[in-house]
Amino acid sequence: MDCIMAPGRMAYITGKKPEGCVFCEGSAREEDLVLYEGNSCYIMMNKYPYTSGHLLVIPFRHICGMEETTAEEKLEMMELTDICVRTLKKAFSPEGFNIGMNLGKVAGAGVESHLHIHIVPRWLGDTNFTTVLGEIRVIPEDIIKTREKLSQYFPRREER
């Protein structure tokens, strides 16, 4: 029998869950997972990714529905999503992408109170038996190494 190790998940499973919104003031926001800050939205690495390079585009304002976004937020969310795709193509050469939002708990939203877009790079064969049979995801790269790879493509706010 093969043993698949995913030590990063245990911290999430057993750890204390942050108070409030993780995208506003929670641990994910504070752990330097933010790669880029725009005027109304930002790009952040997913702390518990579906695969390496899984990014999120998030409005700064704490809103939960598309109907609550301003025209500026809508536009910047799409612009930052485009930047994510272009950057992930350069950094990881994925063969495709899943891009979307889970609006509401019944739609699969893990953080249903704060609107966000998922940008998930995909490769042929990245969905294999572990996901289908074992409900396990295998993340091939440590999140710190992924961040180091991606951060070179995103200028810090003070550099713009």
Hey, where are the domains in the chain?
21-154
116 assigned to active site: yes
- Would you tell me how many other CB atoms lie within 10 Å of the CB of residue 123? 14
Task: Return the SS3 of 56.
Answer: strand
Q: What is the pLDDT of residues 24-81, one digit of tens each?
A: 876 566 668 899 999 999 999 988 888 889 999 999 999 989 999 999 999 999 999 9
DSSP letter assigned to residue 121: E
Active-site pick, 54, 114, 116, 118 = 116
What is the C-alpha to C-alpha distance for residues 114 and 110, in angstroms, rounded to an integer? 10
Chain CA centroid to CA 159, Å? 23
Quick one: pLDDT band at residue 113, thresholds 50, 70, 90? confident
User: What is the reported pLDDT for 13?
Assistant: 62
Under 8 Å CB-to-CB from 149, ≥6 apart: which residues? 91, 92
Span 102-119, average pLDDT: 84
pTM attached to this predicted model: 0.76
CATH architecture assignment, domain 21-154: 2-Layer Sandwich (3.30)
